[in-house]
């Protein structure tokens, strides 16, 4: 019946246990739990995301349901909070499917003074406390993006060659790639990664893929010694992406340029216009400490722990019955 929870009582208990263990881990690490607004005047500028909006009755301003607490948490970091974490709700409009629900639970944390390698150590330590040892006894595999991309496609992820990329796509039965990706290097990388590489990772435990091509920067800093690489890591469990982290970009000018590029792409693809978050940029201008941070999807993590094939199996009330 529609009024009943979609997931079992066992999965509800599992969620409660996972959240308790996460809080115990960060308490022991002296990382402070924080809360930031779910409803805000600004939101991310990702060219390929749609956002939920709301109008505040006492103002003519448009507000957004946040897709991530990232900008607000970095404002806290710039104000001197020290290392922090947050467990909360995030929202993405138009996303629904096996791995997506428009409302989802996110764990996000930032470690002041940490390098990307130290962040990966942190992730592995936390997952070691959450994932069943009987299924995840091996250490996490760590591999550079360019290496895993070359291994499964034979292509150089740092050098875009449209003909070679198209030939690999066709050889894997993906002729639609040319129409979808055109001359967009980043789109090609994402397409080939999701359709070829991730399939090869199924059943392979925990994998940390790091040092992404600079055309896939998100909010990560470029490597000082190699501007073709960005200090970004993604976490996969049995081929399912569960986390995305960075050595955080602290340069307000570079961040402004990235926002400008994103906004132009949004206009090009017909997405709703988004303004730059000037409060976040002001925080960067005031000085963000060197830090590394990551966001992990709790619902997907529960899918991996509970061996479930659909996100609805770990949600009490997915969008269809919310």
pTM: 0.95
pLDDT at 212: 97
What is the per-residue pLDDT for 61?
A: 87
For helices 278-287 and 70-78, the axis angle rounded to 10 degrees is 30
Q: What does the pLDDT read at residue 196?
A: 96
| Structure token pair of residue 285 | 């201008």
Whether 296 contacts 104, CB under 8 Å: no
- Concatenate the DSSP letters of all residues of 189-222 into one string: HHHHIIIIIHHHHTT--EEEEEEEETTS-TTBPE
In the CATH scheme, what is the homologous superfamily, with its name and number, of domain 9-140+205-321?
Bira Bifunctional Protein; Domain 2 (3.30.930.10)
Please report the pLDDT score of residue 57 as a whole number: 87
**Residue 254, CA distances (Å) to 32, 72, 237, 246, 284 in order:** 29, 18, 32, 15, 10
Residue 1 pLDDT: 58
**pLDDT given for residue 269 in this prediction:** 86
Per-residue pLDDT of the chain (322 residues; tens, 9 = 90+): 579 999 999 999 999 999 999 999 999 999 999 999 999 999 999 998 999 999 988 888 899 999 999 999 999 999 999 999 999 999 999 888 899 999 999 999 999 999 999 999 999 999 999 999 999 999 999 999 999 999 999 999 999 999 999 999 999 999 999 999 999 999 999 999 999 999 999 888 999 999 999 999 888 999 999 999 999 999 999 999 999 999 999 999 999 999 999 999 999 889 999 999 999 999 999 999 999 999 999 999 999 999 999 999 999 999 999 9
Q: What residues have CB less than 8 Å from 309, skipping those under 6 apart?
A: 98, 303
Residue 159, pLDDT score: 96
Q: How far is residue 151's CA from residue 146's CA, in Å, rounded to a whole number?
A: 9
* DSSP summary character for residue 182: T
pLDDT digits (tens, 9 = 90+) for 49-100: 999 999 988 888 899 999 999 999 999 999 999 999 999 999 999 888 899 9
Residue 322 burial by Cβ neighbours in a 10 Å radius (0-12, 13-18, 19+): exposed
Confidence (pLDDT) at 310: 96
Q: What is the overall mean pLDDT for the chain? A: 95
User: What is the predicted pLDDT for the residue at 127?
Assistant: 98
Helix axes 9-28, 116-130, angle to 10 degrees: 140
């Amino acid at each position: 019946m529609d009024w009943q929870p979609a997931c079992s009582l066992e999965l509800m208990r599992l969620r409660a246990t996972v959240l308790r263990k996460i809080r115990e881990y960060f308490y022991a690490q002296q990382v402070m739990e924080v809360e930031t607004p779910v409803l805000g005047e600004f939101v991310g500028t990702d060219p390929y995301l749609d956002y939920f909006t709301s109008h505040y009755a006492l103002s003519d301003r448009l507000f957004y349901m946040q897709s991530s607490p990232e900008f607000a948490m970095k404002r806290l970091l710039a104000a001197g909070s020290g290392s922090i974490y947050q467990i909360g709700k995030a929202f993405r409009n138009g996303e629904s499917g096996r791995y997506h629900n428009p409302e989802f639970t996110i764990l996000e944390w930032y470690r002041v003074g940490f390098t990307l390698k130290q962040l990966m150590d942190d992730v592995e330590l936390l997952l070691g406390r959450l994932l069943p040892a009987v299924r995840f006894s091996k250490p996490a595999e760590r591999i550079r993006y360019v290496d895993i991309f070359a291994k499964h496609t034979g292509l150089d992820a740092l050098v875009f060659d449209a003909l070679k990329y198209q030939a690999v796509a066709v050889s894997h039965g993906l002729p639609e790639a040319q129409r979808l990706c055109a001359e967009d290097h980043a789109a090609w990388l994402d397409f080939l990664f999701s359709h070829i590489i991730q399939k090869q990772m199924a059943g392979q435990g925990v994998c940390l893929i790091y040092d992404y091509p600079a055309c896939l920067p998100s909010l990560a800093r470029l490597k000082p010694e190699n501007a073709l690489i960005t200090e970004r890591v993604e976490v996969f469990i049995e081929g399912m992406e569960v986390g995305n982290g960075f050595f955080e970009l602290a340069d307000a000018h570079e961040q402004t340029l990235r926002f400008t590029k994103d906004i132009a792409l949004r206009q090009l693809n017909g997405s709703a216009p988004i303004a730059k978050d000037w409060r976040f940029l002001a925080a960067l201008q005031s000085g963000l400490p060197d830090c590394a941070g990551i966001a992990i999807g709790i619902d997907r993590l529960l899918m991996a722990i509970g061996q479930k094939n659909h996100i609805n199996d770990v949600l009490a009330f997915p969008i269809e019955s919310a």
